[in-house]
Amino acid sequence: MKYGLLGKKLAHSFSKEIHDLIGDYGYELVEKTPDEVENFIKNGGFKAINVTIPYKETVMPFLDVISDKAKMIGSVNTVVRRDGKLYGYNTDFIGFSSMIDRAGIEVKGKTVAVLGTGGTCKTAYAVCKSRGAKEVLKVSRNPDSDSISYLRLYERRKDISVIVNTTPCGMYPDNESFAVDVDEFENLEGVVDVIYNPLKTPLLQRAEKRGLKTSNGLYMLVSQAVAASELFFDTKYPEDLLDEVYGKILRSKRNIVLCGMPGSGKTTVGKLLAEMTGRKLVDTDDEIVKEIKTDIASFFKKFGESEFRKVESNVINEVSKQSGIIISTGGGAVLGRKNVDRLKQNGRIYFLDRPLSELVATPDRPTADTDEKIRLRFEERYPIYISCADETIDAHGSPEEIAAEIIRRGKE
């Protein structure tokens, strides 16, 4: 291995995909146990590597030279071999700075709360202090002389302008959790979550609903990778490379979620999208049938709609944790706000807006098996479809035209 990423568990890392977009230099993921790290660093034979948790501090004693910025932060995420010596750097500082700049979050003269006390907390603290933050509070479940408790944070909630989450709360597969309730912070202006899987944690979703400035950790991840690659090869890339790589990674990870009335063409369009993009198609109704081991109409008749919605919600919860897929939902899937939030964690919702006159009743759809039921469902649900959709697609045309329009809008 010449170039790559050193870590303990890397199954869900985006780093290889990012570096492969930056350049063709054979970037690899290398998992090592704590006992193997020293030998790998000293005798691995690599030219340059990135280092991720939990080894950003572990590698430091084995390096010959450590940059001032890495020393200040107290961790290394990039190691370059030059003339037989190992040089350690930290490009997370650049990554975090780029992320808050892009989000338009200003910390100068503000009080910032950084949740967590790990390596990324140190980076966030260093960046905010260097940008003139009035006060940077480190918040921990186990406070010490260098941090405060969450109780103390809530006591100071009126002072907080920016919250930065560096804890694993909300990270895959625990997509439902969040460290603090942003609604309690009345003077909050911006929220940053360094998590990038899912793309939108509950913390960020709550902040967005308040109209606050937000950012997830994906831009930071791409930015620090570009900076690391420049160190690998002692070069400087064009300024637009960062946004180009970020856009490609974001689009590849973001789910395409189809919603709409029964008979609006979600399944047909979903299959076409899968063929056109090479993505996997997941139909939530098909997943429900696997779960209940009978057809949906029979389940409705025996157990009722309330029980069906519970099963549907559980299925959506699991499906939504995947990334880079196409999700075709049932007609009533977006009636539950929690379902919508889950679908939007990794996805963009497209409402297939087919006219009522083109919707046909079928016996396998319990809530739309007569023309009258379809009319009632259409009147009830149409405002909900509109309100939850990121994009409304005119579904009057052919399935091919609809699929092509979704792909076009996904590139914007």
Residue 16's CB is within 10 A of a number of other CB atoms, namely 15
The string of DSSP letters for 152-178 reads: HHHHTGGGEEEEEE-SSTT-TT-TT--
Distance CA 145, CA 148 (A): 8
Give every CB contact of residue 369 below 8 A, 6+ residues apart in sequence.
297, 361, 362, 363
Task: Yes or no: say if 181 and 153 are a contact pair by the CB < 8 Å rule.
Answer: no
Task: Yes or no: say if 378 and 357 are a contact pair by the CB < 8 Å rule.
Answer: no
What are the backbone angles phi and psi of residue 328, rounded to the nearest 5°?
-100, 120
**Please, what is the end-to-end C-alpha distance for the chain in angstroms?**
37
Residue 145's CB is within 10 A of a number of other CB atoms, namely 4
Residue 113's CB is within 10 A of a number of other CB atoms, namely 25
Give every CB contact of residue 13 below 8 A, 6+ residues apart in sequence.
5, 7, 29, 52
Judged by DSSP in three states, 113 sits in: strand
Q: Which 3-state string (H, E, C) describes 246-278? A: HHHHHHHHCEEEEECCCCCCHHHHHHHHHHHHC
Residue positions annotated with a catalytic role: 56
